[in-house]
Amino acid sequence: MPSLTNPFDLLPANIFNIFSTQGQGGLQRHYMAILLRLYELAEFNRFGLTREVVVADIVEYLTKEGLDSLPQALPDNGDEPLPGTIQEYASWMLRRLVEVGWLEREQQADYTEFIILPDYAFTLLEALRTIQQQKPREYTGQLYAAHQLITHQSENFSPALALTQAYENVRQVVRGLNELNQNIRRYIERVSRNQSVAELLRLQYDEYSQALGPAYHALKTSDHVSRYRRDIIGQLQSWQLDAAWLDATAAELATQGRLSPAQAADEINHYLRFIIGQLESLDPLLEEIDRRHSQYLRTSLRQIRYQLVSADGSFKDRLTSLARDLAALQAEGESWLPEEAPSFQTVAAEQPDVHSFYTLPQRRAPFTPQPVVLPLLDPTTARTLHAATLQQLGAAITPAKIQAFVGQFFNGHRVLHLNDLPPDTFATPADLPWLIYTVAYGNHPEVNYNLEPLDGEPVELGPVRVMPFQLVKR
């Protein structure tokens, strides 16, 4: 695999110097705000930004912020005078952004000067704007798009393009789930600190519910993995076994991506293995997200309860505040509490009755369980349940999975006898479904082997005995 270029080898050497916290304290935040404003102007601008437009936008920002909020002492390098007006101040900041590499100048034939953003500036500023906006990650549609791309083959279906786009969608979903998992852990650490009740409630209802709540809700409803995983994996596994499809898709990808046929074939196999592997291994990650989500809710509620009832915390503060208020009332000459003050809570005392003294234990009547009546199923209902069970089992173990399971034992041979299987293949009851479906899918059109029964004594396979047979590769 070729080594990747270090990003710092491509970026200008001083691009992050304007965000340094040394000297000119507070100026870096204004540089960031100006860059984000210019990025918003240049994002969909077809003709570029002239220098006059950029300077005017910086002047508007400086006017809005107020000159008092900006540092007045700028470094005097001796080559240029210090800015005296807000227009000169804006021009000075523009020159600084050009010097460090965030912006570039481009002069036209008519001496019109344009300010452009390099490609790396677009990428960096988009990431910084995402951090600034703090929008919740949207999962809606990514798994659905991958499902539609793979399972719906229209007249103009392009397998290479569909597989590439599905790979990107699944990659974004897995990356987003890992990001969600890590962010929940970050919120758990934040609520575990000694914070006030107001801050805990703000984290719960303002930050967590808005930033991670919609993402978690979509993950459990509209974009649940189980809705699309089975169809996607089944289709991809059938493509893995289709040599003609692999060759045609690799040739198409080689034409689109200017790759060699061998490189294109490696990419196709990588995409297939990545999507199948990621979708099949998502369950532990989803369980961890559920666990951390529940842990955050429990931790947040426990911290709030502790802060409200702790004798060393807010409860002591409330007693102190109550004592001060009572002292202020007494100083004003008040002998009685105000009407709006809460009254003392007392437990009503009643006269003793029969149940107020010791009661002798009483013997309970013996427990006689009701007879268990096993209802008889209607034959139609029984057939319906039997068909539904077979359908569920058939969906869990597909012909493609049986094909891959049996194929690992042929080892280059055409005929595989039952006695040639490894002794531990069907050693436990959990392995019996594979034996059943190996026999059931014999001679099936979607597998590449036939099952031929043989004469002889039954063969013991773990907990069962099976009549001898052999598998013949087609």
Q: How does pLDDT run across 231-277, given as a tens digit for each residue? A: 888 888 888 888 898 888 888 888 877 778 888 888 888 989 898 88
User: DSSP letter string over 19-40?
Assistant: G-SSSSTTHHHHHHHHHHHHHH
Helices (H), 258-373: 261-280, 282-309, 314-331
CA distance 185 to 295: 9
Higher pLDDT, 191 or 71: 191
**What integer pLDDT is reported at residue 313 of this predicted model?**
53
State both tokens at 74: 């700028």
The type of residue at 35 is L
pLDDT at 23: 44
pLDDT in tens, 187-218: 777 666 666 767 777 776 666 666 666 667 77
Length reported for the chain: 474
Query: CA 183, CA 433: separation in Å to the nearest integer?
Result: 40
Residue 24 in this model has a pLDDT that exceeds 80:
no
- The Cα 50–Cα 11 span in angstroms is 24
Other CB atoms within 10 Å distance of the CB of residue 184? 22
Write out pLDDT tens, residues 30-51. 888 888 888 888 877 767 788 8
The lowest-confidence range among 139-143, 177-181, 198-202, 225-229 is: 139-143
The contacts found for 102-106 with CB under 8 angstroms, 24 or more apart, are 102/15, 102/18, 102/35, 103/38, 103/54, 105/51, 106/48
Joined together, the tokens standing for residue 174 give 């897995």
| Complete domains list, the chain, with CATH | 7-133 (1.10.10.10), 142-301 (no CATH), 389-473 (no CATH)
Residue-level pLDDT at 191: 65
Average pLDDT across the chain, whole number: 77
Check residues 252 and 411 and name the one with the higher pLDDT.
252
Single pTM value for the model: 0.48
Task: Give the whole-angstrom CA distance, residue 229 versus residue 177.
Answer: 15
Per-residue pLDDT averaged across 172-184, rounded? 79
Better pLDDT: 14 or 370: 370
Express each pLDDT in 288-342 by its tens digit: 888 887 877 777 777 777 766 664 555 677 778 788 888 888 888 887 877 777 6
Q: Can you say how many angstroms the Cα of residue 15 is from the centroid of all Cα atoms in its chain? A: 31
Question: What pLDDT, on a 0 to 100 scale, did the predictor assign at position 382?
Answer: 83
pLDDT attached to residue 2: 46
Report d(CA 147, CA 142) in Å as an integer.
9
Q: For the chain, give percent helix, strand, coil, nearest 5.
A: 60, 5, 35
The DSSP 8-state label assigned to residue 176 in this structure reads: H
Contact predicate 51/115, CB 8 Å: yes
- Backbone Cα Rg of the chain: 36
Q: Which two tokens stand for residue 395?
A: 């969906």
The two tokens of residue 332 are: 């004003």
Give the integer Cα–Cα distance in Å for 466 and 458.
5
Q: What is the pLDDT of residue 474?
A: 81
The pLDDT value given to residue 205: 67
More confident site: 58 or 365 = 58
Contact 140, 221 (CB under 8 A): no
Count of CB atoms situated within 10 Å of the CB of 424: 9
Tokens of 228: 């699309």
Q: Which range in 74-78, 122-126, 348-352 is most confidently predicted, on average pLDDT? A: 122-126
Q: Is it the case that residue 115 has pLDDT exceeding 50?
A: yes
111: left (phi over 0), alpha (psi -120 to 50) or beta: left
pLDDT at 207: 66
Task: Count Cβ atoms below 10 Å from residue 300 Cβ, excluding itself.
Answer: 20
